[in-house]
Structure formats: C-alpha cells, structure tokens
C-alpha cells in the first residue's frame, strides 16, 4: 500500500501511475483519499486539543479541591464531562475516516518502477532477449492433458464426479513424476543456499490485506466461515506474512527462502481464459 504522505504530496504522480496500469476507474480514489485525509487530520487535531484542555481542567479541579472550592470544582467537572462526550464522538469520526481511507488506499496500485514497459495487456509485451528460433512442427501438437490421459496418468472423469470441472486425479507414474519434479526443484533451491519452508495453508485477514487488495482477495481467496482465516492462493502469502510486524536486521539480509504449498484459488475473471479449462 502506498504511504499516505506520498499520496498527499504527489497526487498527480499517483494518478499517472493508475493511468499507466489502465485502471482509470480508480482515479477518483485519489481525490477521495485526499479529502478524507484532510478531515481525518482535522478531527485528530481537534482530539489533541480536547485532550489538552481536559488535562488542564483536571489539574484545575485538583487545585480547587485543595483550596476548599468544591462548588467551583464541580462546575469544572461538568466541563470535563462535556469534553469527554465530545471526545467520544470525535474518536468515532477518527475511526470512521481511518477505515474509509484504508479501504480506498488498498485499491490504489503501488507505483511501478521506471523500467516497467507500459502495455494494456500481454499483446504489448516487449521482447527483452531471444535465444534461437522457435520450431513449429509439421504435425498437430497435442494438448498436455491428452498426453497425460493417453499415458494413464490423468483421470478427469472421476475428478468431475468428486469435485466438478477444473479438478483432476494424477495417477501412477505421472503422479510420481509430479512429486519427483517438486523434489528436484526443492533440492535445487536448497543447493543454491535457500532455506526450504512449508508454510501455513491458512492466514488471517490482516496478513491478506498486507499482500493484496480487497478486490484481488475477493476474486481469488476462499474464506473459512466463522473464522478470521483465508486459504492461501500461493505460498507467497504465508511467506510474506512470516515477517509481519517484525524488524529485520540489515546484517541478516538477504533472507533467502523457498517454499511449496497447494494453492487455493477461485480463479474468477479472465485469468487463464486462453487455456483449455478441462484441466
């Protein structure tokens, strides 16, 4: 999430970044955040002034009581009670504005690096480097699912009966190959000096909001009913959350970790639309 101070001082830059991501529907969020931020700082200042005034009056009450001026002290107490009521309402506004600001800030995209090429979709990707020439065989290339089925390593029909479309059973040597590839990848990374980690498969909402926007969360993640828990969409979610609320020492950096986990995703929208969905 972008720092509120950065957005406050660079609203045009933030808007330009939104345009570069072709998310113009989010432009209004910047002005809304700025307006709410002004209101939020006003109520915070008002709260500080009220607390300061209450502190001064509280000291005054003590002095009046010591001097035997009980009636005057009671009048000052009445003023303190009025301030307490104002503070209660003011704190409600602080909470309201803070929540409204956060909900909008979570939808505003982070600033892209200057080196990132601009393009509306992958059709405008820029080729950075190329090795050799692609070979197009003179026969029809079979779909990988068909290859696996012919090898007796994929059972889609049973999976459909058990879980619906989009699921599969890997069988026999194909299942063994799947495990072997994962083992190879794990050991390859370990031999490169990475620490292997199997993360939690569920994370709390404050970890979720730290790694993605509310829109992405709703589109991708499954929530556990009645619990403040979400199934992870990738091990990255848990791995990032591992460092939540931690102060990392410079001398221990970089943290080189690798992990593997199942990925639980709703896969809404256009993600994977170019692929065959039988798998």
> What's the CA gap between 172 and 179, in Å, rounded?
11
pLDDT in tens, 217-232: 777 889 999 999 999 9
% the chain with pLDDT above 70: 94
195 bridge partner residues: 257
Parallel, antiparallel, or unpaired for β 169-170 and 202-203? unpaired
CB atoms within 10 A of CB 249: 7
Largest CA distance in the chain: 105
This prediction's pTM:
0.65
**Right CATH for 4-105 from 1.10.645.10, 2.40.110.10, 1.20.210.10, 1.10.287.40:** 1.10.287.40
Q: Examine the pLDDT at 274 and tell me if it is beyond 80.
A: no
In Å, how far are 125, 160, 232, 266, 274 from 269, measured between CA atoms? 21, 21, 18, 9, 12
How many angstroms separate the CA atoms of 128 and 116, rounded? 12
Residue written as token pair 């002034």: 49
pLDDT tens digits, one per residue of 67-96: 888 888 888 888 888 999 999 999 999 999
Residues of the chain with CATH 1.10.287.40: 4-105
Q: Assess contact for 34 and 77: CB atoms under 8 A.
A: no
């Amino acid at each position: 999430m972008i720092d509120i101070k950065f957005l406050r001082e660079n609203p045009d830059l933030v808007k330009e970044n939104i345009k570069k991501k072709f998310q113009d529907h989010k432009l209004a969020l910047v002005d809304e955040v700025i307006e709410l931020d002004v209101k939020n700082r006003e109520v915070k200042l008002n709260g500080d002034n009220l607390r300061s005034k209450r502190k001064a009056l509280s000291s005054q009450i003590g002095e009046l009581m010591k001097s035997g001026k009980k009636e005057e002290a009671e009048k000052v107490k009445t003023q303190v009670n009025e301030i307490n009521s104002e503070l209660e309402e003011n704190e409600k506004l602080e909470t309201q504005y803070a929540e409204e600001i956060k909900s909008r800030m979570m939808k505003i995209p982070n600033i892209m690096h200057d080196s990132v090429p601009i393009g509306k979709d992958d059709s405008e990707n820029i080729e950075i480097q190329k090795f050799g020439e692609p070979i197009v065989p003179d026969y029809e290339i079979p779909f990988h699912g068909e290859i696996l089925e012919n090898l007796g390593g994929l059972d889609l029909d049973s999976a459909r009966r058990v879980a619906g479309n989009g699921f599969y059973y890997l069988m026999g040597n194909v299942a063994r190959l799947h495990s072997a590839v994962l083992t190879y990848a794990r050991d390859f990374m370990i031999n490169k000096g990475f620490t292997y980690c199997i993360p939690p498969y569920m994370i709390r909402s404050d970890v979720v909001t730290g790694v993605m926007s509310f829109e992405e969360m709703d589109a991708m993640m499954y929530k556990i009913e009645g619990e403040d828990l979400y199934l992870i969409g990738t091990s990255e979610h848990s791995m990032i959350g591992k460092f939540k609320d931690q102060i990392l020492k410079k001398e221990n950096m970089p943290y080189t970790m690798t992990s593997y986990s199942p990925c639980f995703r709703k896969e809404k929208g256009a993600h994977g639309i170019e692929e065959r969905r039988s798998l």
